[in-house]
Amino acid sequence: MLLRKMWRDLLKNKVQFFSIFIMSFLGIFVFSGLDSEVSGMDHYEGVYYENTNLYDICAQGMAFKNRHLSKVKYLKDVKEAELRFKTAGKAELSKEYDLQMLFIDDNKISRMILAEGIPYTPGASGVWVDINFMKKQGLSVGDMLNMKLNGISFGQEIKGAVYHPEFVYYVKDVSAFMPDYGEYGFVVMDTGSYPLDDFYYNQMVIRSSVADNTGGLDKDEKNRLSRLMNEVKYVLDSDEVILTDKDADLSYQTFRAEIEQHASMVYIFPPIFLAIALLGIITTMTRMTAKQRVQIGTLKALGFSKRTITVHYASYAFFLSLFGGVLGAVLGYFTIAKYILGMMNTSYILPKVNTVFSFKSYAAVLISVIISSLVSIMACRKELSPAPADTLRPASPKNLKHSLIERSFLWKHIGFTIQWNLRDILRNKIRTIMGIIGVLGCSMLIFAACACLDTVEFITTWMYGELNTSRYSIIMNEGVSYGDTAEYAKKYKGQMVSTLGCEFEAGGIKKSGNITIPDRGNYLHYQDRQLKHIDLHEDGVAMSYRMSVLLGIKEGDMFSWHIIGDDKWHTDRVSDIYRNPSVQGITMSRKRYESYEYSFCPQTIYTNMDPVKELKDDDNIAGVQGLSEMMKAMDAMKEMMYAMVYIMITAAAILGIVVLYNLGVLSLVEKNREMATLKVLGFKSARIRSILQIQNVWVTLLGISCGIPFGIVVINILFGTMPESMDYVAKYSEKSFIICILGTFVLSYLVNRVLSGKVKTIDMVDALKGQE
Amino acid sequence: MKPFIEFRNVEKKYMIGDNAFYALKDVNLSIYEGEMVVILGPSGAGKSTLLNLLGGMDSPTGGNIFINDHDISKFKDDELTVYRAWNVGVVFQFYNLVPTLTAYENVALMKDVRKNVKRGSVWEKDNAGLELLDPKETLASVGLADHMDQFPSQMSGGEQQRTSIARALAKNPRLLLCDEPTGALDTDTGKEVLKLLQRVSSKQKHTVVMVTHNSSFADIADRVIRVKNGTVNSIITNDEPKSADEVSW
């Protein structure tokens, strides 16, 4: 029978209880949606790397012989090792496309996975091609693929379309910051298919027994791999060899960082919804139990135990949060998780990745249910503790005291409307706080959504309008002499730039990144932390902001660096800190670079003259990229942002409407008698409505002014957890502030408009009848 | 004969600031099983407090209350709950039905009461054989067979009070407590309710204790206890109680 009572009470107070339900639902919906996606990526990342046996350590920088391989294989912690040759070549189709070429002896470590065709066996002829490249270029198994390596053309029959664990994420070159799959790719061939006679092994990949392939590398694994790298270095006995663990691999690192970034978002939004659900429970249950005081007393008098009555009142919140949570978990899994994962599938290339419903989602439902029930019990406790005889009597009226404001001399001068609203707020603090938090959440989401768009827009203009003002970049082929490159630069009035892989160390922290050496020119510009233009010290070593944060150093601090391929470490002082969205490391002038007795070998020329037609078939040129092409790569990212923005705006609207409507109804019910009295006294409905609107405006203003700072925090978290190679500056324009403020106000106004319409319908006679 | 209920020097004191206010002081009385007792007194005399103590809805601040030889003044909250669940049926002046439950559901609620209290208590043994009555039959016995599915808001005051009595009777309690049961009813309906209570006492052998400020009801009681200023003023035994039809007010 008590269940029936509960059900009918729920129906009677449906607006309030629905808001609790919807907030419990939304909290778990977002949590389970994001968590199922993150858990899915995390799980299938591990499965994929485990199945493909991704390498732990990669050795390069020297010519490897089989005797090196035997020595390394002999090490205790080495499970397997393979030699291979990795180089850059071209595919000759309608035009030339960049290809990463892998020549292998075996397919045991970093195994390619066949999507279509026949599997690779050692010694087999033919080529196994990047599945994205094949799709985009319309290639199929059995076709002949013409390729070019060091100027020599050769062809191989396509034997299969493949996935490769080292190509989950790959960009054309380090300066590109979004992938554009299919416009470049990778191919795998047997070493026997190498077309030239200068073959040597330039890489050794090692699989160890001290690290696994699931969940990223933890500190212990990193330390053990570091020890193993020392052992490998010792047995290889070479000054040139460079050893890196898989964390330095762009594909591995970026995918991992993406998973971790998503994981950090899992906990941002749900607590807001849960907090509002809990406030809803407090206001609704306190009010309901106060209203049902005599019923509670009667139940006690009839012999119901306190426990039974407590359980009865806790069950309202219990069932609402349980049903809301379960529905949220299921729908979150099937909508948000699938949707975001679908988008991830365009950035990260894995044969299979799916959502995974993790224990965390079960735990979230459980925690939400427990907290909601406990809060409900706390809210009811006041009416449940006294003896039945006391509860059967009506509650003694609240001992109202004059608040500080009411005692101040200002009080008399502020007018009835403000007095009335101030009193109402002070006497219904929880209701007001709940309103403010609801508006806060709503404006925070709108603001964060707008700021996401601002940031993406900004990054594009920042990168291609402020930091790099050239319209074309000419990428030189490997091995082109400095003299030839300089000739091109002269012809196109360009600025030559060299970018090399580099490793940094400060205070025991090691990070890999790039060294950028710009020659004289006007195309590359630098900005400090606050994005103000700076000129780097002519003779200094400047460090990118993100790298300085990763290393924990600032201007004037010392750090060490060495170029990948050169074992010699240099120690320098940071002369400037600059920001760059896509390349992290250090920048120094050509003069400074040459003072270390390195020779300047630029790979890129930035220019404003259009070289596309002239250089199309130039053997010295690897490619020419125009501004529009580079901007296009941003489109995928923008698309993803738009999807996020839609989700956030929808959540904001639901949050705002539900909370404000609920509070409005609550306050109307509570103030029914007061408003009826005002009507009897001769106040017009319009005047009463305006009194109610004022409070709404206050709550909305307060909510927005707290919501915007929270929005700023949220987008900083969002963009602060980007991969280590990226440095995105969270941006928000005046437009975002205006949209946020106006959007929230319009929403709040509309809800209130609907609600205050009910003032007209207040029946004076009915409302003022004696309270039976 | 041994009394079913016995108050010995019962006191109920409230502290208002530093001042003590006695709602009941030095109350001594006995009630026998199957009696119909009317407690009479003006407003504020302590009648309702007396009834609350008797029903285990409140505890005295002094003295002892024996029900069937158990001193309920020493009971803890849990034990009082069990006592109420097994022994007491209460009828309120304003009926106190659960507004979201129908007449039938309000009466059937008593199944939940017994289900949720500790088994094997002294009361269960004392009251062996006093099983719950069928809610439908009980409602029919108070003349509400046709109102089972109505919500309290759809019924008249008299119907609501009869539902309330049915709810109290469904427990088959040894003690039926009524707090101004006709207070909110017109004379004719009030008489119907009184007749019902009288019948319960005489036919079903329930002990009925009714609190009222209406002295006309003194005539229908087996015994009349007059209370004034928190003390028992007089206890009068009625050798020949009248029928409810014969009283008027």
Q: Coil, helix or strand for A684? A: coil
Q: Do A389 and B111 touch (CB under 8 A)?
A: no
Q: Bridge-partner residues for B38, per DSSP?
A: B210, B224
The residue behind tokens 């050795």 is: A59
> Using a CB-CB distance cutoff of 8 angstroms, which residues of chain B are in contact with residue A384?
none
Q: How far apart are CA A231 and CA A214, in angstroms?
A: 24
Q: Which distant-in-sequence residues (6+ apart) come within 8 Å of B43 by Cβ?
A: B213
**Is A772's Cβ below 8 Å from some Cβ in B?**
yes
Segment 27-66 of chain B within 8 Å of chain A by CB: 49, 52, 55, 57-59
% chain B with pLDDT above 70: 94
Q: How far apart are CA A674 and CA A689, in angstroms?
A: 13
Our CA-based measurement puts residue B139 at a distance from the nearest CA of chain A, in whole angstroms, of: 16
Compute φ and ψ for A558, nearest 5 degrees: -95, 150
> Using a CB-CB distance cutoff of 8 angstroms, which residues of chain A are in contact with residue B167?
302
- Intra-chain end-to-end CA distance of chain B, in Å: 35
For residue A319, pLDDT over 90 is answered with yes
Q: How far apart are CA A450 and CA A92, in angstroms?
A: 43
Residue type, B9: N
Do A75 and A232 form a contact (C-beta atoms < 8 A)? yes
Nearest alpha-carbon partner for A297 in A384, A181, A226:
A384
For residue A183, pLDDT over 80 is answered with yes
**Is A737's Cβ below 8 Å from some Cβ in B?**
no
Pairing of strands A152-163, A127-130: parallel
> Using a CB-CB distance cutoff of 8 angstroms, which residues of chain B are in contact with residue A301?
55, 57, 84, 88, 90, 96
Q: How far apart are CA A345 and CA A15, in angstroms?
A: 40
Q: What is the dihedral of CA B106, B111, B112, B116, to 10 degrees?
A: 150
**Which of A392, A396, A772 is the mutation pick for testing B, counting most B CBs within 10 A?**
A392
What is residue A617's predicted lDDT score, i.e. its pLDDT?
Answer: 74
Q: How far apart are CA B197 and CA A483, in angstroms?
A: 118
What is residue A397's predicted lDDT score, i.e. its pLDDT?
Answer: 66
Nearest alpha-carbon partner for A525 in A435, A434, A441, A461:
A461
Pairing of strands B36-40, B223-228: parallel
**Is A770's Cβ below 8 Å from some Cβ in B?**
no
Instruction: Give the chain B residue nearest A8 (alpha carbons).
Output: B100
For residue A529, pLDDT over 60 is answered with yes
CATH number belonging to domain A472-609: 2.40.70
What is residue A15's predicted lDDT score, i.e. its pLDDT?
Answer: 81
Q: Do A387 and B57 touch (CB under 8 A)?
A: yes
Q: Give the sheet arrangement for strand B70-71, strand by strand.
A: B19-31, B5-16, B62-67, B70-71
Q: Is the ipTM of this complex over 0.85?
A: no
pLDDT band for A292, please (50, 70, 90 cuts). Answer: confident
Nearest to B116 among A12, A308, A388 (CB): A308
Q: Do A9 and B116 touch (CB under 8 A)?
A: no
Instruction: Give the chain A residue nearest B103 (alpha carbons).
Output: A1
For residue A208, pLDDT over 60 is answered with yes
For residue A560, pLDDT over 80 is answered with yes
Lowest mean pLDDT among A116-120, A422-426, A521-525, B231-235: A422-426
Q: Coil, helix or strand for B90? A: strand
What is residue A400's predicted lDDT score, i.e. its pLDDT?
Answer: 64
Residues B216-227: b if buried by 16+ CB within 10 A, e if exposed: ebbbbbbbbbbb
Q: Which distant-in-sequence residues (6+ apart) come within 8 Å of A245 by Cβ?
A: A56, A57, A58, A211, A217, A222, A225, A226, A229
Residue type, A375: V
Strand residues in A132-265 grouped as ranges (E) = 144-149, 152-163, 184-190, 201-208, 242-245
Q: Report H helices in A595-733.
A: 627-670, 672-680, 685-720
Q: Do A300 and B99 touch (CB under 8 A)?
A: no
Pairing of strands A604-607, A472-476: antiparallel
**Is B107's Cβ below 8 Å from some Cβ in A?**
no
Nearest to A303 among B49, B58, B113 (CB): B113
**Is A396's Cβ below 8 Å from some Cβ in B?**
no
Q: Do B100 and A12 touch (CB under 8 A)?
A: yes
For residue A770, pLDDT over 50 is answered with no
Nearest to B117 among A12, A305, A390 (CB): A305
> Using a CB-CB distance cutoff of 8 angstroms, which residues of chain A are in contact with residue B12?
none
> Using a CB-CB distance cutoff of 8 angstroms, which residues of chain B are in contact with residue A390?
58
**Is A302's Cβ below 8 Å from some Cβ in B?**
yes
The arithmetic mean of pLDDT across residues A482-495, rounded, is 91
Nearest alpha-carbon partner for A211 in A353, A83, A385, A56:
A56
- The CATH architecture that domain B34-57+69-243 belongs to is 3-Layer(aba) Sandwich (3.40)
**Is B216's Cβ below 8 Å from some Cβ in A?**
no
For residue A117, the surrounding DSSP H or E stretch is strand A113-117
Nearest to B109 among A1, A8, A294 (CB): A1
> Using a CB-CB distance cutoff of 8 angstroms, which residues of chain A are in contact with residue B84?
300-303, 388
% chain B with pLDDT above 90: 29
Instruction: Give the chain B residue nearest A294 (alpha carbons).
Output: B96
Instruction: Give the chain A residue nearest B56 (alpha carbons).
Output: A301
* DSSP 8-state class, residue A535: P
**Is B88's Cβ below 8 Å from some Cβ in A?**
yes
The arithmetic mean of pLDDT across residues A372-397, rounded, is 82
The arithmetic mean of pLDDT across residues A212-225, rounded, is 85
In chain A, list all ranges with CATH 2.40.70: 472-609
Name the token pair of A87. 């180089």
Q: How far apart are CA A267 and CA A663, in angstroms?
A: 26
Lowest mean pLDDT among A343-347, B6-10, B161-165: A343-347
Instruction: Give the chain B residue nearest A387 (alpha carbons).
Output: B58
How far is residue A189 from each of residues A82, A86, A107, A121, A128, measured CA to CA in Å?
14, 10, 10, 10, 6
Our CA-based measurement puts residue A392 at a distance from the nearest CA of chain B, in whole angstroms, of: 9
Q: How far apart are CA A125 and CA A128, in angstroms?
A: 10
Name the token pair of A69. 């391989």
For residue B77, pLDDT over 70 is answered with yes
The arithmetic mean of pLDDT across residues B98-119, rounded, is 82
Q: Which distant-in-sequence residues (6+ apart) come within 8 Å of A269 by Cβ?
A: A27, A30, A31, A445, A651
Q: Do A303 and B85 touch (CB under 8 A)?
A: yes
Nearest to A305 among B59, B81, B108 (CB): B81
Nearest alpha-carbon partner for A558 in A586, A600, A591:
A586
Q: Do B78 and A305 touch (CB under 8 A)?
A: yes
Our CA-based measurement puts residue B239 at a distance from the nearest CA of chain A, in whole angstroms, of: 32
**Is B140's Cβ below 8 Å from some Cβ in A?**
no
Q: Report H helices in A13-124.
A: 14-52, 66-73
Q: How far apart are CA A308 and CA A311, in angstroms?
A: 5
Q: How far apart are CA A333 and CA A44, in angstroms?
A: 16
Compute φ and ψ for A517, nearest 5 degrees: -120, 100
Q: Do A389 and B58 touch (CB under 8 A)?
A: yes
> Using a CB-CB distance cutoff of 8 angstroms, which residues of chain B are in contact with residue A4?
100-101, 105
The residue behind tokens 């996020």 is: A644
Q: How far apart are CA B66 and CA B211, in angstroms?
A: 19
pLDDT tens digits for B127-185? 665 678 889 988 988 888 899 999 998 999 889 988 998 998 888 888 899 988 888 77
> Using a CB-CB distance cutoff of 8 angstroms, which residues of chain A are in contact with residue B99?
295
For residue B114, pLDDT over 80 is answered with no
* Domain spans in chain B, listed from the N-terminal domain onward: 34-57+69-243
Nearest to A1 among B55, B84, B105 (CB): B105
Task: Report CA B62 to chain centroid distance, whole Å.
Answer: 22
